[in-house]
Amino acid sequence: MNACIRAVVRIGCKQGFQVFGIVGGYQGILDEAYVSLDARSVANIIHRGGTILTTGRSEEFKTKAGLEEAAENLEKKGINALIAVGGDGTMKGLYELGKRWKDGLLIGVPGTIDNDVFGTDHSIGFDTAVNNALVAIDKIRDTAEAFSRVFLIEVMGRHSGAIAAHVGIASGAAAIIIPETPTDLDEIAQIIIDERRKGKMSSIIIVAEGDEAGDATAIASKLTDKVDEGCRVSVLGYIQRGGNPTHCDRILATRLGAHAIDCILEGKTGIMVGESGRDLVEIPFEDTWKKKKHLEKWMLERITDLSS
């Protein structure tokens, strides 16, 4: 997100805007936690993970009173436009705020490692999360091969299997378990058994945390009984979120941040900016949560063939 903040500030300043950052997400509007930003204040942040403005959830902002107070605070500060980076929950927040803040322009930028926001091919953070997971999986594979182990590696994705699917295919996993497809543990157990018969003594299985069959620990317990050998578990957790952002994420965040300023200059509001087929797109807020983003068709069709 820092690359996006940097682009918004620098492009905004060049266009003559006075730019403020809001510390702590939507709660920061209620707390009036503003910080003035200029070109120098966003120097040397493009390579840093996370966000210099910090973020967080705000239950107060979700209430009618909270939304009205937020609109009043923005008016009082003399702010004319608000750019927010996040997932569909962030877009819902902007949509609801827009009902109270009639004169302000609202632009959303997709930022979630789950990559589950409708209308954009990729969201900020997804590519970095996938690459972080790949680095960890490649290291775990060394142990799996050295000790002839079956490893179930759990990645983030409570409602979306995007990380698991990309990581599983890119790492050459024996099986990929995601919420978008039914999970047949007997079939996965047979894959492990067949690999043993072929002389492959280690297996990597990628599990999205939100699969209907359970998390990696629960699935490992069931598979242990089926293959008659212990299945190890590694939960990558928040390691996927941190670290230096990849080239792809830095470019995407910069491009979308700059386009958000362009939209403000054109008087646009109520939209999320995104990227589709390398083209910049603008998606109405409501579409970002009312329409479901699906995994790429080729990926769903080939997951089984490639993994087994």
pLDDT in tens, 91-123: 999 999 999 999 999 999 999 999 999 999 999
Specify whether the CB–CB gap between 107 and 85 falls below 8 A.
no
Looking at the predicted structure, is the pLDDT value of residue 307 above 70?
Answer: no
Identify the residue with better confidence: 198 or 114. Answer: 114
Determine what percent of the chain is predicted with pLDDT higher than 70. 99
CATH code for the part of the protein at 126-241? 3.40.50.460
Q: Which amino acid is at 215?
A: D
pLDDT digits (tens, 9 = 90+) for 33-56: 999 999 999 999 999 999 999 998
Specify whether the CB–CB gap between 161 and 178 falls below 8 A.
yes
CATH architecture designation of domain 2-125+245-290: 3-Layer(aba) Sandwich (3.40)
Specify whether the CB–CB gap between 117 and 293 falls below 8 A.
yes
3-state DSSP assignment of residue 51:
coil
pLDDT of residue 199: 87
Q: Which helix (H) or strand (E) holds 37?
A: strand 34-37
Which residues carry out catalysis? 114
Strands laid side by side in the 203-208 sheet: 175-177, 203-208, 150-155, 231-235
Q: Which of 84, 85, 7, 17 is nearest to 45 (CA)?
A: 7
Residue ranges of the chain that CATH labels 3.40.50.460:
126-241
Residue ranges of the chain that CATH labels 3.40.50.450:
2-125+245-290
Distance (Å, whole) CA 118 – CA 248 = 19
Q: How confident is the model at residue 149 (pLDDT cuts 50, 70, 90)?
A: very high
pLDDT of residue 297: 85
Q: How confident is the model at residue 174 (pLDDT cuts 50, 70, 90)?
A: very high
pLDDT of residue 3: 98
Distance (Å, whole) CA 211 – CA 34 = 40
Pick left, alpha or beta for residue 243 (phi over 0 → left; psi -120 to 50 → alpha; otherwise beta).
Answer: left
Show the tokens assigned to 308: 């087994």
Specify whether the CB–CB gap between 130 and 157 falls below 8 A.
no
